[in-house]
Amino acid sequence: MLHPLVWKGRRGGFLLLEVWLALFACALFPTMLIPGCRGLLRCVASLQLDTVTDGFVVNLHRIREDSMFRTRPAGQYASIDLYGSEGYSVMIGTHEIRRYDFLRDYGAAVQFSSLPRRTIRFTTQGAPKYTGVYTLRHRVYPDLYRFVEIQPVSGRIKVTGSGGFGEAAGTKNVSS
């Protein structure tokens, strides 16, 4: 005996209206997710750019301190050699100590978009041999960038750039 709420003429399956409602819900859900995913990807790209910039600045500090506080023969100076736009090498004399590739080491699509010089060195007083502003830019989001400025005479390193999470552009002095 059939349950009293079941219609006797219905064989099973779905009504055309039910199928359309299910397809509409399946199509509507991803369209609501896409804008949120783009914001999340931009946030991750900003964090990647910050990580790469911080690593570059830390290595600049290391070679600056090395040139001020270590005594080496004249040809054994510490430097950073930039290769292409994809990364850099920390050198002592002609020996490569560590190579940093942005994509391989940081997993970030970041590149140098302006290079005043290919080699960065500091004197024994901590002043840079050459000064300039190095620009790190994200490849996917070109409006995300950081300027790393090596100031003349003092050798201070200043990082400026576009805001990562929608905030205004900021400046941070990272040298003492």
Q: Where are the domains of the chain?
A: 18-173
* pLDDT score, position 93: 81
Residue 167 has pLDDT above 60, yes or no: no
Using CA atoms, how far residue 135 sits from 12, 161, 162, 164, 173, in Å, is 65, 9, 11, 15, 16
For 39, the 3-state DSSP assignment is helix
pLDDT of residue 75: 67
Query: For residue 10, how many other CB atoms are within 10 A of its CB?
Result: 8
**Considering Cα of 115, then 119, then 141, then 50, what sign does the dihedral take?**
negative
Region 20-30 average pLDDT: 85
Q: In whole numbers, what is the pLDDT of the chain averaged over residues?
A: 81
- Topology of domain 18-173, per CATH? minor pseudopilin epsh fold (3.55.40)
pLDDT above 70 (res 6): no
pLDDT at 41: 86
The string of pLDDT tens digits covering residues 63-104 is 888 888 877 776 678 889 998 788 899 988 888 889 999 888
DSSP string, 131-154: -EEEEEEESS-TT-EEEEEE-TTT
Contact partners, residue 157, CB within 8 Å, separation at least 6? 57, 60, 61, 148, 149, 150, 151, 173, 174, 175
